[in-house]
Structure 1
Amino acid sequence: MASATLSRHPVASSVAVLSGTKLVQPSFKSRVQVNERRLATSVRAEVMTAERKPELPPDRAIVSSGDDQLEIVRVINGMWQTSGGWGKIEPGPAVDAMFRHVDAGFTTFDMADHYGPAEDLYGIFINRVRRERGDELESQVRGLTKWVPPPVKMTRAFVESNIDRSRKRMDVKSLDMLQFHWWDYSDKGYLDALKHLTDLKLEGKIKTLALTNFDTKRLQVILENQIPIVSNQVQHSLVDMRPQNYMADLCNVTGVKLITYGTVMGGLLSEKFLDVNVSIPFAGPPLDTPSLNKYKRMVDAWGGWKLFQELLREVKYVSNKHGVSMSAVAVRYVLDQPAVAGSMIGVRLGLKDHIRDSQEIFKLQLDQDDYARIASVTKRGKNLQDVIGDCGDEYRRA
């Protein structure tokens, strides 16, 4: 695509320097051996200038592309636990729990068309907000959803019908953010779908358009096709630093932000799993949720349970030093990484919440010694980019 064409579009112009060339991919070693002093002193400054406007409080970020922008809370309520496997969710208590999160300042919710009743619960919740709290609170609440289509032809009618379904379930005229997923990159239908979604955005049915689990190469292709992407939702944690290998470089050039999940690894990055051996039956907490089993496999691929225990001990030292939970340290570390606008924490609505731990995150500032302690262990783990592939590749392996 010619640079002259790219320069006419705000998204495409920023990626023009990459068009027709291979994205420079620095060695993993150079990524792991991070300058802790730079992290401690400049990362928060980068977040201030890139992820949010200076007048925003530290718990807020803005994701944008051209004239499209959306303000979010940097700790996002992840609603995937409504999809089953984490306990039965009752609508009444679940919606009451959503109000507790909002009243504590956590007004951004993330869901998907396939997270069981998540979109329906949001619709019940936002309807109650309108009736009981009024316009002021409604204007602060954000509902981010995802569309994960089957591998069929992406016609305008098919795309629009699915977006209309989410709008109806969520009881909104316009989706705050639509995050798009695609299973098979060999099928270029994802570009057709995204062009239809862009048209629907221009028609007012979507406010901002985003991706979930796309790799660096395809993100670049999408941007070169002038699709106004504001963010890419990817797995990112102390163990899984893949987004910082190559993805963050492209994001820093183009302005696309990262929204992360798996940041506390389903709860593995917490006091609950410190100094326990999960390989011995009944010796420690059970791996009794889909997330715990998923992220235990990530630990095995990264370096094993013994090395993970060393990481937990260093995180525990840092958490004791600052008087916060281990999970707060894990999330703060990822929020401080380049290009990261927000991180999700799963909410087991009506069953369990982590509101207090989440509030600690915004009071926490990690220093040079904290980064050095954590890096002393993480640099000994494997590069999951080599083991699994780029962001989202774990969902596309045969």
Structure 2
Amino acid sequence: MTTMTARELGGITVSALGLGCWAVGGEWWDTAGQPLGWGKVDDEESVRAVRRALDLGITFFDTADAYGAGHSERVLGKALGKRRDEAVIATKWGNVFDEETRTLIGGDDSPAYQRQALTASLRRLGTDRIDLYQLHLSDADPERAARLREQCEEFIREGLIRSYAWSTDDPVRARVFAQGEGCVAVQHRCNVLQDAPELLALCEELELASVNRSPLAMGLLTGKYADGSAPGAGDIRSAPPEWLPGFSQGGAPDKAWLERVDAVREILTGGGRTLAQGALGWLWARSPRTIPIPGFRTVAQVEQNAGALAYGPLTGEQLREVEEILARTKD
């Protein structure tokens, strides 16, 4: 067993485990009424959870201005408070939203909106700089994105951000941002059920951090839905958009996905790990550049995920066994 401690985010040292703050944004919707959050949330519990994470050595917190239409950033800023310097904050821009109605309106990839969004995020977070500033429009035009990359370089010179990245599952787009000196990472989906070999290879080639969203497959790798239960109303998984696989309309988990989880459960839970801890260990074993950012809503969830640090990565043999079971080998 190898205890995990830290990863490198450019020249910034962060905990090997981060926390994703999407869920703590609470409920929000698009203009058609599609839920985009994870349901109702207790803000005070969210604050306690962030502070507990700091106590447990977790220093990396990922949010976005759109999560909860600004609410996630406000909660994170409140939770960090005077402990701001203990944390590394990552946030995102590109989506346009109405804070009062908590409604996502659209996207804006203009440099003018980029600066406006950064100013607003700094205010909501109660900080004078963003450690990692990420483009949230995963399918933005690469040529237009190059202009945003150049403005990120200007933000670094102004001391407003320390580094930047693109949150995208497209290696071609990720490479566009990586041409900038201040680009230190790619945020992309990666988990036991949804590997990302091209993006992991890109991160290795260009010496970028791999920030892993959906490391627990939207909850499927926690075991929470093994009994057929489903997320409640107001949760994005109850009416999943096309880009969110693994759940059907109404929120029922896809049986095929649950069968795949069951197939690797014994390996992931070996040595006393919980299923979620094993899934995080898989990511650390998958690449030395991975930084998983599981979501949370409670102190208990933070404590369980933080417990994975004591177990560290799966062994090479366990990693190969999982790959063989899921038919991922290239032989």
Return the TM-score normalized by structure 2.
0.79
- Distance in 2, matches of 1:223 and 1:146, equals 16
Question: How far has the Cα of 1:173 moved from its partner?
Answer: 0.9
Question: How far has the Cα of 1:113 moved from its partner?
Answer: 0.3
Alignment of 1:60-139 (within 5 A): 60-64=6-10, 69-81=11-23, 82-84=25-27, 85-116=37-68, 117-127=71-81, 130=82, 137-139=83-85
Structure 1 residues 178, 273: closer, same or farther in 2, change over 3 A? same
- Distance in 2, matches of 1:345 and 1:183, equals 19
Question: How far has the Cα of 1:158 moved from its partner?
Answer: 3.3
1:237 to 164, 178, 191: 191
Question: How far has the Cα of 1:122 moved from its partner?
Answer: 1.9
3-state SS, counterpart of residue 162 of structure 2: strand
3-state SS, counterpart of residue 371 of structure 1: helix
Structure 1 residues 251, 285: closer, same or farther in 2, change over 3 A? same
Question: How far has the Cα of 1:109 moved from its partner?
Answer: 1.3
Structure 1 residues 163, 219: closer, same or farther in 2, change over 3 A? same
**Any unmatched runs of 5+ in structure 1?**
1-39, 45-56, 131-136, 277-283, 382-398
Alignment of 1:67-216 (within 5 A): 69-81=11-23, 82-84=25-27, 85-116=37-68, 117-127=71-81, 130=82, 137-149=83-95, 151-152=107-108, 154-155=110-111, 157-182=112-137, 184-186=139-141, 188-216=143-171
- Distance in 1, matches of 2:142 and 2:95, equals 13
User: Is structure 2 residue 311 aligned with structure 1 residue 311?
Assistant: no
Structure 1 residues 189, 109: closer, same or farther in 2, change over 3 A? same
Alignment of 1:12-51 (within 5 A): none
Structure 1 residues 271, 249: closer, same or farther in 2, change over 3 A? closer
AA matched with 2:8: I
Question: How far has the Cα of 1:343 moved from its partner?
Answer: 0.2
Structure 1 residues 339, 198: closer, same or farther in 2, change over 3 A? farther
- Distance in 1, matches of 2:238 and 2:283, equals 19
Question: How far has the Cα of 1:374 moved from its partner?
Answer: 1.5
More helix per residue:
1
- Distance in 2, matches of 1:380 and 1:101, equals 34
1:367 to 304, 308, 315: 315
User: Is structure 2 residue 283 aligned with structure 1 residue 334?
Assistant: yes
Query: 2:174 maps to which residue?
Result: 219
AA matched with 1:80: W
Question: How far has the Cα of 1:77 moved from its partner?
Answer: 1.3
AA matched with 1:109: F
3-state SS, counterpart of residue 179 of structure 1: strand
Looking at CA atoms only, which structure, 1 or 2, has the larger radius of gyration? Answer: 1
2:245 to 271, 285, 298: 298
- Distance in 2, matches of 1:105 and 1:198, equals 30
Question: How far has the Cα of 1:323 moved from its partner?
Answer: 0.8
- Distance in 1, matches of 2:60 and 2:142, equals 33
3-state SS, counterpart of residue 178 of structure 1: strand
Structure 1 residues 119, 252: closer, same or farther in 2, change over 3 A? same
Q: Deviations over 1:30-86 (max 9, x none)?
A: xxxxxxxxxx9xxx9xxxxxxxxxxxx73211111xxxx222112111110124243
Question: How far has the Cα of 1:180 moved from its partner?
Answer: 1.2
2:326 to 372, 378, 384: 378
Conserved 8 A contact 1:237-1:330: yes
Structure 1 residues 293, 325: closer, same or farther in 2, change over 3 A? farther
- Distance in 1, matches of 2:110 and 2:224, equals 45
User: Is structure 2 residue 220 aligned with structure 1 residue 268?
Assistant: yes
- Distance in 2, matches of 1:153 and 1:364, equals 39
Q: Deviations over 1:203-227 (max 9, x none)?
A: 1000111111151112223334x35
Conserved 8 A contact 2:269-2:278: no
Question: How far has the Cα of 1:236 moved from its partner?
Answer: 0.5
2:304 to 356, 359, 370: 356
Return the TM-score normalized by structure 1.
0.67
Larger relative contact order (C-alpha < 8 A, sep ≥ 6)?
A: 1
- Distance in 2, matches of 1:365 and 1:335, equals 5
3-state SS, counterpart of residue 269 of structure 1: helix
AA matched with 1:145: T
Q: Deviations over 1:341-392 (max 9, x none)?
A: 3001111147x524134313432442344224312321169xxxxxxxxxxx
- Distance in 1, matches of 2:313 and 2:238, equals 27
CA RMSD of aligned residues (A): 3.0
3-state SS, counterpart of residue 185 of structure 2: strand
- Distance in 1, matches of 2:256 and 2:39, equals 31
Identity %: 18
- Distance in 2, matches of 1:104 and 1:376, equals 34
